[in-house]
Amino acid sequence: MKNKKVSILLALALAFTTLLTGCGSDKGTAAKPVGEVLRAAVEKQFEIESSHGKVDMVLNVEMPDEATADPNVALVAPFLKEAKLSMDQYAMMKEGKAYSTIEAEAGGQKVAGEMYMLSPTQMVFKTDMMDQMVVFDMEKIAEMAAMSGSPMSPTMPTDFTSYYSDEYKPYVKLGLDFLGEAFKGMEPSERKTEEYEFSTGKESLDMITYSYVSNDELIKFIETSVNNIMASEKLYEIIYNDETKKLMGEGVELPTKEQFDQAMKMGKDAFDTQFPTIKEELNKNVEIKEISLKMGIDKDGYMRYTKVVVDLVAKNGEMELPVKLTMESSIDQVNAVKAEDIKTVEVDETNSINFEEFIGAMMMGGMEMQNEATEDMDMDDMDMDDMDMDELEMSEDELNKAIEEMDELELTDEEREALEQLEKDLEQMGDDVETTDENSGE
């Protein structure tokens, strides 16, 4: 059953991630077809030299009383209720430099910090809550992930500017072509021209919204996109064209068109067989309130505004867990950021710690706290005078009865010897208490 639930969640994540990835705009207006506008926008995003933008995110998870009965859940619950994150960023993308201010609020606690991208592979996080800055070296982090057996792709770019390189463009084209097939015939839920208030003034945006406000609507989206892919006549040449063959490298054995078609047919048959079960499990475990994506494209075709809403209720038997995530972002400056807008910071061994060391220190710190707690509870450190000795007393009859019950158990010789030693220790403790009382005059 757990595997089925995980499969449902993965299907939801895959479907919505596919929708998010396919969004964008180009030098288009509301007069152009949606598909053309969206595809062109993704390509145009890679032309941006610099930008200033803001991101605001709110996560709210309403933990039911049944869930918070677990102490571990009760500890986390306050941090998931109305958790907020805001970021204001100046970036020069192709140079791999950026400066961001970050504010977070959760569980009644607020944290403010600054993020510096010093190079295409290195970021630094600074906050007043820590004496040292944390350095993120993406190349080292990728190496650690590979050594630990992480599924992190070895081809995943660790250079933040690699997305703007000619080598990366074939991946973008492949993704756009694939999504074009998946979204064939799908029209947005709403499309209209709206005025949006940026910090630099109002601008007219072509607002395109995809919204799913029930389980049936989301299920229909999943079914349509999968069937589009399975029935595509262009998919083989999209995946196995000359450019993608180069990406796969020499010596990779590729299927023939006939083999590919046969595999897709088998996949379609399997999907048709399993889909009723997928629908049943989805309806049993999730109630969709809203899953939507709103995009605003300016007259030059740049994506200037996005809003994502995920509002659902996760179910586990009678227990319901409402979850709502809202993320809104806007770009008020395109190609207008200057070098002096990008603040920087000097990093050396005395004022910083790398990410790997930071994680290690956090883990060791936790272990030390546990050890200190254990030491504090050591019997040698306990003040017996402050304890109510009546709470430790057991009548002789009660003690003998407990020992008799233990004697009736089938014990090994070693266990019986341990029991006899326990009897002696208890008797000695009683004698010690009596002696202490006599000496104190009580």
The arithmetic mean of pLDDT across residues 384-392, rounded, is 48
Statement to judge: residues 287 and 231 lie in one domain: yes
DSSP-assigned letters across all residues of 285-307: HEEEEEEEEEEEE-TTS-EEEEE
Count of H-run helices and E-run strands, the chain: 13, 12
Statement to judge: residues 266 and 191 lie in one domain: yes
pLDDT computed for residue 394 by the predictor: 52
Q: Which domain holds residue 402?
A: 383-439
The arithmetic mean of pLDDT across residues 112-135, rounded, is 92
| pLDDT at residue 66 is higher than 50 | yes
Tokens at residue 173, please? 């084209």
Statement to judge: residues 173 and 55 lie in one domain: yes
The arithmetic mean of pLDDT across residues 394-398, rounded, is 57
The arithmetic mean of pLDDT across residues 92-106, rounded, is 93
| pLDDT at residue 27 is higher than 60 | no
The pLDDT tens digits for 138-182 are: 888 877 777 766 554 445 567 778 777 777 888 888 889 999 999
pLDDT computed for residue 18 by the predictor: 43
334 inside domain: yes
314 inside domain: yes
Residue type, 245: K
| pLDDT at residue 2 is higher than 50 | no
Statement to judge: residues 318 and 399 lie in one domain: no
Query: Number of folded domains in the chain?
Result: 2
pLDDT-derived band at 398 (thresholds 50, 70, 90) equals: low
Task: Say if pTM beats, i.e. exceeds, 0.75.
Answer: no
pLDDT computed for residue 73 by the predictor: 84
Statement to judge: residues 341 and 433 lie in one domain: no
DSSP-assigned letters across all residues of 394-418: --HHHHHHHHHHHHTS---HHHHHH
Statement to judge: residues 339 and 414 lie in one domain: no
Statement to judge: residues 321 and 427 lie in one domain: no
Which range (128-142, 364-378, 404-418) has the least confidence?
A: 364-378
Three-state SS for 241? coil
Which helix (H) or strand (E) segment is 276 a member of?
Answer: helix 257-285
